[in-house]
Amino acid sequence: MRSRFFLPVLLAGIFTLQCTAQKEPWQPLFNGDDLEGWTQLNGEANYEAIDGEIVGTTVYGTPNSFLVTDQLFGDFVLEYEVKLSAATNSGVQIRSNSIPEFNNGRVHGYQVEIDPSDRAWTGGIYDEARRGWLFPLKDMPEANAAYKHLEWNKFRVEAIGDTIKTWVNGIPVAHLIDDRTPAGFIGLQVHSIGREAEEGIEIKWRNIRIITEDVRAFAMKTPVPPKNNYNTLTFSEQDWGWELLYDGSDMNKWRGAKRDDFPYSETGMGWDVNEAVVKIHESGGAESADAGDIVTNEVFSDFEILIDFKITEGANSGIKYFVDPELNKGTGSAIGLEYQILDDERHPDARLGAQEGSRTLASLYDLIKATNKHPNPIGEWNHARIVSDGDHVEHWLNGRIVLEYERNTPEFQQLVNESKYAKWPGFGKWEEGHILLQDHGNEVSYRNIFIKRL
């Protein structure tokens, strides 16, 4: 009697599982016949559609090659299978991009690694052409052993909000919290090779499918602790010489521009350092009239600085560099070159300036207008990058260069002469100075403040 009852229940259970699987809204990314919907970028490796597989083949003397989807994806669940014919580095790009303003179109973004070397970091997360290793597989023996060389390996990748998780052959591998790039293409990498003898290695992909609808309903739990990438240097950045200017908890590398200590908020105004964010509170919109600007304790000359910022409606602030706090001991902000932070749609400064548009977001304040901008909406994080190498300076916004100029040139001096800075002798020509975050009386938040000396 028990066995007669058990069989229908078992069959019903199987039917329920099948129905559940059928309800998953998978979409194929590869039609099995040709490379329609994909485009090759950067290198000249060979890609072909053969017997329901995409086959990439290494070619000597060419840079990294990528076969990328024409469609861009934000939140998704992705599955695919990979098989290598010999040991070579490879990977699958997710939320990646190729834009002319970034290294002449070089593919950059998150990569789910395929690493058959003794290091065995397959399934780890690498930031191609940007920050290097975000989630290396150090001290993760089970994850290290998940990949099976010369066999088909099944990968699962979940990218939902600022969380990226990976599995290799059902084994949990990476769990990263990072929001540098919210959307981009999927790309199949054939890595460059260093020896002619390595030519002809094949990387095969098959069963490439994606879920883009109601993705949170299909997310899986992972026992891997999350690695929060906010206010921390990546594994690679530490080797590359980057320094933290804010570690998410205190501001011991900063002080007030016109005082010796840091102007922490005590009355709900001023500078707050909470929840891994540095925030200047709203105080009416006046320039440096409440807590005042803050500057680094150290001075910098040749450098690259990265800062995330988030503004509120109508807000005004700025990131200044080559700042000399001794120049202006009176009212107003300390003096230096400024990467403008502004709500261009609502703040009147956007329509002012010695040069038209030179007080808009990411501009060199009052001197040079930023162009080709792609800001994120008010209330979302944006990413600023400033590079100062000798006299050459660049402003970047969200991965795109928006202006560049040369200090100590007649052209630069002419811009200064026509600006509000004309009264400051030697403006913008100093060999070194502090980095400054401005209090302009509006609520603006900062995080991920990194600097590298060049």
Distance CA 438, CA 287 (A): 8
In a shared domain, residues 274 and 195 = no
The answer as to whether 398 is a domain residue is yes
Run of H or E including 158 = strand 153-160
The answer as to whether 2 is a domain residue is no
The token pair that represents 322 in the structure block? 């080559």
Domain endpoint, select from 205, 226, 247: 226
In a shared domain, residues 193 and 246 = no
Number of domains in the chain: 2
Q: Name which of 449, 359, 367, 373 is nearest 407 in CA terms.
A: 367
The answer as to whether 219 is a domain residue is yes
For residue range 73-91, what is the model confidence (pLDDT) as tens digits? Answer: 999 999 999 999 999 999 9
C-beta separation of 37 from 31 below 8 A? yes
In a shared domain, residues 51 and 158 = yes
In a shared domain, residues 432 and 287 = yes
CATH at 191: 2.60.120.560
Q: What is the pLDDT of residue 38?
A: 98
In a shared domain, residues 268 and 323 = yes
pTM: 0.89
The token pair that represents 250 in the structure block? 């205190």
For residue range 114-137, what is the model confidence (pLDDT) as tens digits? Answer: 999 999 999 999 999 999 999 999
Full pLDDT tens readout for the chain, 454 residues: 333 333 333 444 443 344 344 488 999 999 999 999 999 999 999 999 999 999 999 999 999 999 999 999 999 999 999 999 999 999 999 999 999 999 999 999 999 999 999 999 999 999 999 999 999 999 999 999 999 999 999 999 999 999 999 999 999 999 999 999 999 999 999 999 999 999 999 999 999 999 999 999 999 999 999 999 999 999 999 999 999 999 998 899 999 999 999 998 876 678 999 889 999 988 887 887 788 999 999 999 999 999 999 999 999 999 999 999 988 877 888 999 999 999 999 999 999 999 999 999 999 999 999 999 999 999 999 999 999 999 999 999 999 999 999 999 999 999 999 999 999 999 999 999 999 999 999 999 999 999 999 9
Q: What is the pLDDT of residue 268?
A: 67
Judging by beta carbons within 10 Å of its beta carbon (0-12, 13-18, 19+), is residue 200 exposed, middle or buried?
A: middle
Q: In Å, how far are 73, 89, 169, 227, 301 from 119, measured between CA atoms?
A: 30, 11, 18, 20, 38
Residue written as tokens 């690694």? 113
In a shared domain, residues 64 and 197 = yes
Beta bridge partners of 269: none
The answer as to whether 94 is a domain residue is yes
C-beta separation of 358 from 350 below 8 A? no
Percentage, residues of the chain above pLDDT 70: 94
The answer as to whether 9 is a domain residue is no
Distance CA 321, CA 435 (A): 5
Residue written as tokens 């072909």? 48
The answer as to whether 13 is a domain residue is no
The answer as to whether 266 is a domain residue is yes
Question: Which pairing describes strands 76-84 and 90-97: parallel, antiparallel, or unpaired?
Answer: unpaired
Domain endpoint, select from 226, 257, 272: 226
The answer as to whether 82 is a domain residue is yes
Residue written as tokens 């602790």? 225
> Three-state SS for 79?
strand
In a shared domain, residues 412 and 338 = yes
In a shared domain, residues 192 and 277 = no
In a shared domain, residues 137 and 251 = no
Domain endpoint, select from 226, 244, 278: 226
In a shared domain, residues 254 and 190 = no
Residue 264's domain comprises: 236-453
In a shared domain, residues 240 and 222 = no
In a shared domain, residues 114 and 202 = yes
